[in-house]
Amino acid sequence: MKTPLLAASAIVLSAGFAVAETSVQSCNRTVSFDAPPQRAISNDVNLTEMMLVLGLADRMVGYTGISGWKTLDEEMRAGVAELPELSAKYPSKEVLVGADADFFFAGWNYGMKVGGEVTPETLAPFGIKVYELTESCTHIMAKDKASIEDMYADLINLGRIFDVEAKAAEVVATYRDDLAAFKDNLQTGEPLRVFVYDSGDDTPFTAGRYAMPTALIEAAGGVNILDDFEKSWATVTWEEVIERNPEVVMIVNYGDVTAEQKRDFMMSNPAFAGLDAVKNDRFVTLEYVEATPGPRNIQAIKTLATAFWAE
């Protein structure tokens, strides 16, 4: 198995003086920093929470990509209360440059698109360095299936970038201990077959082997029925879902269509009447911020495990 994308640091000489330089691996790039960023921007609710859990709000000039799709709960509203949302959806290059940003924490399909106007290469001439969400690296390089280690690696790398390594190590250690203690007391059976229902009526948008729900489901004692789907988040056919007959449906809650409406769609559609999950009314909901890489992944695993094994 490949190791997580972690960081390295070095001492370089500049004008005869020793200057600490920190380098981190960001997908297939090495990104170096001779000082911690002071005007950072994060995209999306889960990446923004990674910044907040490390206490980096005072290093940020804003965030992007939240209100266009999601609503903030009370915890998130409090965390970003002093920060402006610079763009409701994906930011343009002009938005980032106009904010005089020096750092952008985003990912592929988390604020950046392959071949789009906002990429590490297009921002480099403006002095904006980019760190890419590890889970999203599958869009531009070969990568192992999604793992909770991806999220840990991002927190550790952010800690190095912003010179808060001790805080990042403490946060990750707390998550590891919390999850280990929970799993020690978790009694499971044969892994349950789980379908991730993100959105879509005619064709479902779901999580493949490279998306975080696959790792969350496995940690909770299940298996993603599309574990062999060589994608991150993508569209499949309902026929594939029916053929694989999930025992549980994990709904991702966000956007205009509520989790309850998604459940009702599946429960009332005769095409799904034969699914074990529908026959037994076994649905579990995760908020978007729980289902994507970020600090709420540990609670997400607990929520799934409780739904899987409470009986």
Q: Helices 297-309 and 148-161, interaxial angle, to 10°?
A: 170
Q: Where are the domains of the chain?
A: 7-177, 192-309
Q: Which two tokens stand for residue 135?
A: 């889970």
Topology (CATH) of 192-309: Rossmann fold (3.40.50)
pLDDT, residue 70, reads: 80
Q: Which two tokens stand for residue 215?
A: 């790792």
* pLDDT over 70 at 84, yes or no: yes
* pLDDT over 70 at 8, yes or no: no
* pLDDT over 60 at 44, yes or no: yes
Residues 232-267: tens digit of each pLDDT: 999 999 999 999 999 999 999 998 999 999 999 999
- Cα dihedral across residues 118, 120, 121, 124: positive or negative: positive
Q: Which residues pair with 71 in a beta bridge?
A: none
Instruction: Provide CATH code, domain 7-177.
Output: 3.40.50.1980
**pLDDT bucket at 18, cuts 50 / 70 / 90:** very low
pLDDT, the chain, mean: 93
**pLDDT bucket at 274, cuts 50 / 70 / 90:** very high
Residues 191-213: tens digit of each pLDDT: 999 999 999 999 999 999 999 99
CA–CA gap between residue 7 and residue 155 (Å, rounded): 11
Query: Does 7-177 match 192-309 in CATH topology?
Result: yes
Over range 264-273, report the average pLDDT: 97
pLDDT, residue 73, reads: 79
* pLDDT over 70 at 308, yes or no: yes
Q: Which residues pair with 26 in a beta bridge?
A: 29
* pLDDT over 60 at 37, yes or no: yes
* pLDDT over 80 at 309, yes or no: yes
CA–CA gap between residue 100 and residue 62 (Å, rounded): 11
Residues 110-144: tens digit of each pLDDT: 999 999 999 999 999 999 999 999 999 999 999 99
Residue 18 or 255, more confident: 255
Residues 56-70: tens digit of each pLDDT: 999 999 999 999 888
* pLDDT over 80 at 12, yes or no: no
Report phi then psi at 51, rounded to 5: -65, -45
pLDDT, residue 6, reads: 58
* pLDDT over 50 at 3, yes or no: no
Helix (H, G, I), strand (E, B) or coil at 49: helix
